[in-house]
Amino acid sequence: MSEQPTPDEFDEIVEAETDRDPDLAVIEAGSRTLRAQAGSLQGDPVPARPADPEVDKALREVEAELATRWGETKLEPSVSRISALMDVLGEPQRAYPSIHITGTNGKTSTARMIEALLGAFDLRTGRYTSPHVQSVTERISLDGSAIEAGRFIETYNDIKPYIEMVDSQQDYRLSFFEVLTGMAYAAFADAPVDVAVVEVGMGGSWDATNVIDGSVAVVTPIDLDHTDRLGSTPAEIAVEKAGIIKQGATVILAQQPVDAAQVMLKKAVEVDATVAREGMEFGVVSREVAVGGQQVTLRGLGGEYEEIFLPLYGAHQAHNAAVALAAVEAFFGVGSEHARTLDMDTIRKAFAAVASPGRLEVVRRSPTVVLDAAHNPAGARASADGITESFGFSRLIGVVGASGDKDVKGFLEAFEPIFAEVVVTQNSSHRAMDADELAAVAVEVFGDDRVVVEPRLDDALETAITLAEEESEFAGAGVLVTGSVITVGEARLLLGRG
């Protein structure tokens, strides 16, 4: 558990952040009130700020330079810039085989499971995921751990001259995401890794990650999100996402809307790819709630894997586990070159060690506070189902901070049956929906008497925890913080998990 800063230390941390948004400074320092010792939990898979002041300063300088580039929501659909960068770097993405992951929801959790499984079989892994929960270094993982801050800085400085060279030759500078993608591919080649697990940023065909030739292409469930850029139906969105399916690859296809599945199967035929479908060639055989997660039996491409403990909540995570297992089997040639299961004990050990920060993650007890990065209606439905099944709260208070470009009403409607009250707030991002605007939508869904407005996230957390604690008869009350990865990340810091 993180020790609480003294008042003087707290002020010093905030003072050191004067060049940044003042609210972010307070979040970075943490809230003394919310870091109540009775509530914090042990251990954290998310890296904290570097302890060495010089390293921390250098990391902040890199972050500041990256922040001058196009953000992840501003796109120019092309892989020309990232291809040019790969060219001048000597094509580092060709130095290792890759498993490429697209879809609407579940990509990061699935990537983490794939990484854990491959690592359990003694392969050196690189994982690239987005967005990050708290630290930008989370996006690039080596051997199951976020890249060390010093190595992140070194990688950036190593390729910076090449980035500038490409910038000077293109109509637009490389974006924030394109630079990080280049850093990841360079870091993986430098390590070197045996296999890279790569999550697309958005879409597929023109996503910056799509300069790899993934021998295994994974497609998690497709639903409506980023409709302004990807299409307004699952089929239209699937066309873009099918772009990661390469010649002769194996496609691991999670359960999909029929029209999306048809698009994927058509693309697979065009490029002579082999398809394994959830519910047909692999899937979840059985699952039951267990303390700290769930016990599952999975059918893989080579046979059944029984009595697997998965320390994650919700049916959606069991389905993600089935997809991850099939992807790793495909990588090892199970189901095509030979028919056998992978070593059962190794599979069990790997799944038991999986963590997915910000995905129905318990960060505090008394009352229980759960964080979930759901940000669209499909994700919200999965989260609501997982909470209902696994926690059995007698009363649940929601804290919601959403982005303005999402289907906020559909998102809130998914939670209406399980939230007794909802505290609407906003995170520090420029994309955050104004708390009052969000409240207006929330009132439509919940009614005026169930909505509380607290524009500051720290105040929203305090209010929700107080509401959960206020009546002794609700001893089983809890708090769910959701709506955005940024909201969840900032809440983690405020609750002492940073």
Q: Are 305 and 341 in contact (CB under 8 A)?
A: yes
Assign 71 a pLDDT band (cuts: 50, 70, 90): confident
Q: Residue 142: beta bridge partners?
A: 126, 145
For residues 154-179, average pLDDT = 96
Task: List, for residues 325-380, the tens digit of each pLDDT value.
Answer: 999 999 999 976 666 889 999 999 999 999 999 999 999 988 999 999 998 998 99
Task: List, for residues 250-268, the tens digit of each pLDDT value.
Answer: 999 999 999 999 999 999 9
Assign 232 a pLDDT band (cuts: 50, 70, 90): low
DSSP tag of 356? -
The enclosing H or E element of 107 equals: helix 107-120
Among 80, 342, 330, 112, CA closest to 215: 330
Distance CA 344, CA 355 (A): 20
DSSP tag of 97? -
Distance CA 472, CA 98 (A): 53
Specify the pLDDT at position 409: 95
Collapsing DSSP to helix, strand or coil, 99 comes out as: strand
Assign 77 a pLDDT band (cuts: 50, 70, 90): confident
Specify the pLDDT at position 13: 39
Distance CA 490, CA 74 (A): 23
**pTM score:** 0.88
Among 163, 12, 20, 180, CA closest to 87: 163
Task: Tokens 């919700």: give the residue.
Answer: 314
